[in-house]
Amino acid sequence: MKLEIGDKVSILSYYKRETTTNSGEPLATAVDTADSGEPIEYNKYHKHELKSREFGVICGKRTIKTSGTLMPDIDAQGHSFINQIGATYRDVYLVATRMNCLRPVEKKWIRIEGEL
């Protein structure tokens, strides 16, 4: 199944941006309270299920970072900084379901309805 810009599609799930750690607290809070050398795992996007099928149009393709791991550390001068030591990326299609709404959707969550 090849998806192209302009294809009319329907979706039941999409990625919703909500940056939290795996323990459920906001990422900014976790970074402020983290100890040096203790990794922080976080999720940037979560799968969101729709109650009913939404129809839209393919508008593009992107690669998004869905999760990652940060490592707080201190340099030789005593300044604190954060290194990203790992990340998970996903290829998604941008589906316009309304005039002001682009939803990042994985290919397996898309069903082709026809062409415009």
**SS3 sequence, the chain?**
CCCCCCEEEEEEEEEEEEEEECCCCEHHHHHHHCCCCCCEEEEEEEEEEEEEEEEEEEEEEEEEEEEEEEEEEECCCCCEEEEEEEEEEEEEEEEEEECCEEEEECHHHEEEEEEC
Look at residue 2 and tell me if it is in a domain.
no
Q: Total domain count for the chain?
A: 1
Look at residue 37 and tell me if it is in a domain.
yes
Q: Using one digit for the tens of pLDDT, what is the confidence trace for 37-81?
A: 788 889 999 999 999 999 999 999 999 999 999 888 878 888 878
The model's pTM: 0.82
Domain hosting residue 61, numbered range: 7-115
Look at residue 46 and tell me if it is in a domain.
yes
DSSP string over 19-31: EEETTSSBHHHHH
Look at residue 99 and tell me if it is in a domain.
yes
Q: Using one digit for the tens of pLDDT, what is the confidence trace for 73-104?
A: 878 888 878 888 899 999 999 999 999 999 99
Task: Output the pLDDT for position 71.
Answer: 86
Look at residue 31 and tell me if it is in a domain.
yes
Look at residue 96 and tell me if it is in a domain.
yes
Look at residue 1 and tell me if it is in a domain.
no
